[in-house]
Amino acid sequence: MTFSDALSGKRGLILGVANDRSIAWGIAQVMASAGARLGFTYQGDRLERRVRPLAEKVEGEIITSCDVCDEKDVEKLFQKVDDQWGGLDFLVHSIAFADKKDLEKEYLDTGREGFLKAHDISSYSFTLLAREAAKRMTAGSSMVTMSYLGAERAMKGYNVMGVAKASLEASVRYLAADLGPRDIRVNAVSAGPIQTLSARGISGFSEIFSEVEGRAALGRGVTTEEVGNTAAFLLSPLASGITGEVIYVDGGFRMMG
């Protein structure tokens, strides 16, 4: 195995492309250029118009709607995997959602409904998808999800999403423990702030972004391509000894004193 053929011919699902700024799209482009065979899902028909042309650009073999709250959608997705591929080598989960009002008020005021919704979409969905994916995977397969520093620090405005990301990161460890004996690896990439659909419209984003540029060792933010490169590494056999970890792609923000 060499660097250049580490991912060639590997079949994998990428969940969470909304547009060409999505982190999932950054990962997809890197995986496609490494010769991987890709399947894409989008959240509901509203997004099909944006996602299908992107998926076609990288010769996506599965392109289908999947709302992770809908168990039937998830079932249908894996039926397609069984029919078209009969197996799976990797999974990319790049999905998060909380009601906007829960990102705007204090965490203290989070209601049960908003709490459960954020956790259902942003954390439980990874466990559900990992379970279904793992049934189709053999030794050497790998899964990646996306996290953020708000999982471990109280970041302004991140609120219930931070609590959901903490749950997601803990899930990564327990899933890695469950799947390790089958040589299936599970990791998270914790990215620095990137101007995507999910980050836009967040009050104070530009201040947060300039603070990151000021404090990060590299003195700049990161790109979806850089996140994609790290995800591709974790999904490849080059990372065969790494599981249950959170890898930071933040330009060296977290480690600075």
Contacts of ligand NAD in 95-114 (CB under 6 A):
95-97
Residue pair 192/216 in contact (Cβ under 8 Å)? The answer is yes
Of 39-47, 62-70, 91-99, 176-184: span binding ligand IMJ (CB under 6 A): 91-99
Give residue for tokens 């599970």: 186
158 is catalytic: yes
Indicate the length of the chain as a whole number: 257
Amino acid letter, residue 191:
A
Q: Does 127 bind ligand NAD (CB under 6 A)?
A: no
Question: How many whole angstroms separate alpha carbon 27 and alpha carbon 18?
Answer: 13
Residue 84 neighbours by CB under 8 Å, 6+ apart: 39, 61, 62
Q: Does 148 bind ligand NAD (CB under 6 A)?
A: yes
Q: CA nearest 125: which of 109, 105, 146?
A: 146
Beta bridge partners of residue 189, listed in sequence order:
146, 247
Count of CA atoms in the C-beta half-sphere (13 A) of 96: 26
Q: Does 91 bind ligand NAD (CB under 6 A)?
A: no
Output the smallest distance, CB 36 to ligand NAD, in A: 19
Taking the CA atoms of residue 171, residue 188, residue 14 and residue 238 in that order, the dihedral angle to the nearest 10 degrees is: -120
Contacts of ligand NAD in 209-248 (CB under 6 A):
none
Output the smallest distance, CB 15 to ligand NAD, in A: 6
Of 67 and 183, the one with the shorter C-beta distance to ligand NAD is 67
Of 15-23, 93-101, 178-186, 233-241: span binding ligand IMJ (CB under 6 A): 93-101
Q: Does 23 bind ligand NAD (CB under 6 A)?
A: yes
With CB under 6 A as the rule, give the number of residues binding ligand NAD.
26
Annotated active-site residue in 107, 148, 174, 248:
148
Annotated active-site residue in 42, 158, 174, 248:
158
Of 8 and 195, the one with the shorter C-beta distance to ligand NAD is 195
Output the smallest distance, CB 249 to ligand IMJ, in A: 12
Q: Does 223 bind ligand IMJ (CB under 6 A)?
A: no
Interacting partner of 68 out of ligand IMJ, ligand NAD, none (Cβ under 5 to 8 A depending on kind): ligand NAD
Give buried/exposed letters for 247-256 (b at 16+ CB in 10 A, else e).
bbbbbbbbee
The C-alpha angle 24, 76, 199, rounded to 5 degrees, equals: 25
Binding residue for ligand NAD, selected from 30, 54, 68, 216, defined by CB under 6 A:
68
DSSP code of 189? E
Q: Does 98 bind ligand IMJ (CB under 6 A)?
A: yes
The C-alpha angle 102, 108, 109, rounded to 5 degrees, equals: 50
Interacting partner of 98 out of ligand IMJ, ligand NAD, none (Cβ under 5 to 8 A depending on kind): ligand IMJ
Residue pair 192/224 in contact (Cβ under 8 Å)? The answer is no
Catalytic residues: 148, 158
- Residues at the site binding ligand NAD, with contacts judged by CB under 6 A: 16-18, 22-24, 43, 47, 67-69, 94-97, 121, 146-148, 191, 193-194, 196-199
